[in-house]
Amino acid sequence: MAEEIATVPFSFELYPPRTDTSVQALHRTIDELAAVAPQFISVTYGAGGSSGGRSLEVLKYIREHTNVDPLAHLTCVGNTYAGATTLIREFLDAGITSFLALRGDPPAGTREEDINLGDLESSAQLVQLIDRVQAERVPFRVSEVPGIPGAGRVDRRSRVRIAVAAFPNGHPRSRHASEHIDALLAKQAAGATLAITQLFFHADAYLAFVERARQAGVTIPILPGIMPITNPARLNRVLELSGEELPSELAIALEIEPTTEGQRELGIEYAANLAREVADGGAPGIHLYAFNNHDTVLAVLREAGILIQKENVR
């Protein structure tokens, strides 16, 4: 195959393998995704706990076997300052310097008022904690002075990348229309360097959200998160989890298509059109939820014209 290059930056999200037998399959997926040079690959992580577990194993594989930046998810729900600090240090010790700070979803069947948030009540507080732990661990860096053997110069420390979530159609727990933008401003003020949106189904939702966020004072890049939906069952599950409105055009197309392959092609086409539209509208990149499968997200990038063969570039 001819070498492929990107016309727009892109990244992927994966989740840790659920069984030992799926580890090798995930490694192959990571290798295939890394081969097209994404900006980063993020790995999801469950709430609570003081050990990176399988998430850390995947992040280490990305760091040690590819040239791609691994990005670790961290959540607030059920976590304490001590537990979160231990976990952040564990990731930093493994060479992980990119994070996605999330409030986290409540456990299934738990009411909002019964959620154990622990010591961290918002993702903005988690952003601050990540930055503080890294600053305590590496308060500065020393670089050599050219021409003066043994001399060193104290420079500012390298900052970690801290991404946060953004919600184009509003957060499901928002109490007023602009609360999700106010929350994004708070995350930015806490030290966030990047935002990644939850899924959406229409380009206008993302583009209008970015415009409102910019008018409110958000200056960090806002990556659109796009999820290829390749069958009705997945669409229904995603809508149940996200609270997004039913995308009727996609839903009808998937329901009336009789074959699995046909449904897959429809989902790829829909996601590719969405990626193309937001890229044309000025998105700084595309973040794709991969479901631990490389074929579908790579097909989306190719159909969108974001990943093209080098020989076709003029």
Report d(CA 261, CA 244) in Å as an integer. 25
Q: Which two tokens stand for residue 225?
A: 């998160």
Report d(CA 215, CA 186) in Å as an integer. 15
Nearest to 206 by CA among 218, 224, 221: 224
List 3, 13, 32, 257, catalytic entry: 13
Residues 6+ apart with CB under 8 A from 35: none
Task: Determine phi and psi for 112, rounding to 5 degrees.
Answer: -55, -45
Helix ranges (H only) for 217-283 are: 232-242, 248-256, 260-280
The identity of residue 258, as a single letter, is P
Residue with tokens 């076709």: 312
CA dihedral 296, 172, 167, 213 (to 10 degrees): 160
Continuous segment of H or E residues that includes residue 23: helix 23-34
Cβ neighbours around 223 below 10 Å, total: 23
With contact defined as beta carbons under 8 Å apart, do 152 and 142 qualify? yes
244 annotated active-site: no
- What are the residue numbers of the active site? 13
